[in-house]
Chain A
Amino acid sequence: EVQLVESGGGLVQPGGSLRLSCAVSGFTFSDQYIDWVRQAPGKGLEWVGRTTNKATGYTTGYAASVKGRFTISIDDSINSLYLQMNSLKTEDTAVYYCARRNYNRFDYWGQGTLVTVSS
């Protein structure tokens, strides 16, 4: 069974940092692209960033709104993906999902983890 499980959310002050984790199981981690998608309270989905697969060098890409502040990393020895978030702003408050990308569609999603940026 394919599973993605996010963790690491919480309350952080503006300007602070937080690292989210996404643990995956049920598929070969190194074969797939995995993305981060977020959803602010009462708002729509926003693509945050992605890592490609091992064959393409685990290349990362980011939305303009987070580029330079957020960094995606992977540890394929434990089938995990991370989202390091620095210089957090109140507008980064959202539920953060990791999702498996399969030919440019997200076929499996995690349950999400809530990040609240507030003083």
Chain B
Amino acid sequence: QSALTQPPSASGSPGQSVTISCTGTSSDVGGYDYVSWYQQHPGKAPKLIIYEVSKRPSGVPDRFSGSKSGNTASLTVSGLQAEDEADYYCSSYAGSSNLLFGTGTKVTVL
């Protein structure tokens, strides 16, 4: 199974929105509503920010939102803030208790 496909980079000015895509197949992203998104700052462990396509864990700002259409999931960060500059990874259940990660997207706040 190959990694899910994400754009290598995305950027926006403070206050703007940025959307990151995560493309898989009908065997993973398209087949299950178990898409998660993780934020990772340099030298730190990943942090869960979206799960089950569009749900936010307690404490995650509502500036972060997720959606899915077919085999592609998306993460939108609205009202960009300096602290949102990080790497973002999607993940999807792929059957047989296996999980796939995306290739990762570096978000830069201009």
Residues A44 and B46 in contact, CB atoms below 8 Å apart: no
Interface band, chain A: 20 to 34
Interface residues of A in 11-55 (CB under 8 A from B): 33, 35, 37, 44-47, 50, 52
Q: Which residue of chain A lies nearest to B4 when distances are taken between CB atoms in the complex? A: A44
Residues B98 and A47 in contact, CB atoms below 8 Å apart: yes
Q: Which residues of B contact A46 (CB under 8 A)?
A: 3, 101
Residues A45 and B89 in contact, CB atoms below 8 Å apart: yes
A110 to B97, CA, bound (A): 21
A45 to B90, CA, bound (A): 10
How far apart are A26's CB and chain B's nearest CB, in angstroms?
16
Residues A45 and B38 in contact, CB atoms below 8 Å apart: yes
Q: Which residue of chain A lies nearest to B98 when distances are taken between CB atoms in the complex? A: A61
Q: Which residues of A contact B1 (CB under 8 A)?
A: 64
Query: Chain A interface mostly helix, strand, loop or mixed?
Result: strand
Q: Which residues of A contact B36 (CB under 8 A)?
A: 104-106
Q: Which of B3, B45, B93 contacts A104 (CB 8 A)?
A: B93
Q: Which residues of B contact A107 (CB under 8 A)?
A: 48, 51, 57
A61 to B101, CA, bound (A): 16
CB<8 Å pairs between A and B, sample of 15: A33-B97, A44-B101, A45-B104, A46-B3, A47-B101, A50-B98, A59-B97, A63-B98, A103-B51, A103-B52, A104-B34, A105-B48, A109-B46, A110-B45, A112-B45
